[in-house]
């Protein structure tokens, strides 16, 4: 009997302390307080990892002469690299071995599933690996 009375007392007391939860958004774009705008903007700017001072937007202002010059340079370098590639490897398959092109160290090896090409730039230390399946 004491347990039932204690249980009723606990349930009655818990019901009196209940409250209704109301959601209020923080962001002013979704109905929140308009004074939160500056706080949210400054927080977003503090977390922004991108730097706008690296002139990434300058490429949009290239005139047609500069665009033509860059296109011509790309085409000439592409033809030159194709010519060097054909002279070195011929028109057939790539042969395993080690090749040096200026500051590029290229190692071609046969693997279990295909051909591995490791490219190392000896001046900067950058490295790439290409896998060609057979």
With respect to residue 79, please indicate whether it lies within any of the assigned structural domains: no
Q: How confident is the model at residue 92 (pLDDT cuts 50, 70, 90)?
A: low
Distance in angstroms (rounded) separating the CA atoms of residues 41 and 27: 10
With respect to residue 56, please indicate whether it lies within any of the assigned structural domains: no
With respect to residue 119, please indicate whether it lies within any of the assigned structural domains: yes
Q: With a threshold of 0.75, does the pTM exceed it? A: no
With respect to residue 117, please indicate whether it lies within any of the assigned structural domains: yes
pLDDT at 13: 63
With respect to residue 113, please indicate whether it lies within any of the assigned structural domains: yes
The C-alpha angle 56, 62, 64, rounded to 5 degrees, equals: 155
With respect to residue 59, please indicate whether it lies within any of the assigned structural domains: no
Count of structural domains, the chain: 1
What would the two tokens of residue 119 be?
Answer: 């490219």
pLDDT at 93: 63
| Residue found under tokens 């090409």 | 117
pLDDT at 52: 67
Domain ranges, residue 109: 92-133
With respect to residue 105, please indicate whether it lies within any of the assigned structural domains: yes
pLDDT at 29: 79
With respect to residue 109, please indicate whether it lies within any of the assigned structural domains: yes
């Amino acid at each position: 009997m004491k347990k039932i009375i204690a249980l009723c007392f606990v349930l009655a007391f818990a019901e009196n302390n209940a409250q209704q939860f109301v959601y209020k958004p923080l962001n002013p774009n979704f109905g929140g307080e308009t004074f939160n705008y500056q706080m949210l903007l400054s927080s977003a700017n503090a977390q922004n990892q991108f730097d706008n001072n690296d002139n990434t937007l300058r490429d949009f202002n290239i005139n047609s002469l500069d665009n033509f010059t860059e296109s011509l340079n790309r085409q000439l370098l592409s033809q030159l690299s194709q010519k060097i590639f054909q002279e070195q490897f011929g028109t057939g398959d790539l042969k395993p071995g080690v090749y040096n092109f200026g500051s590029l160290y290229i190692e071609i090896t046969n693997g279990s599933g295909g051909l591995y090409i490791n490219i190392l730039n000896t001046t900067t230390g950058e490295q790439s690996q290409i896998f060609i399946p057979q």
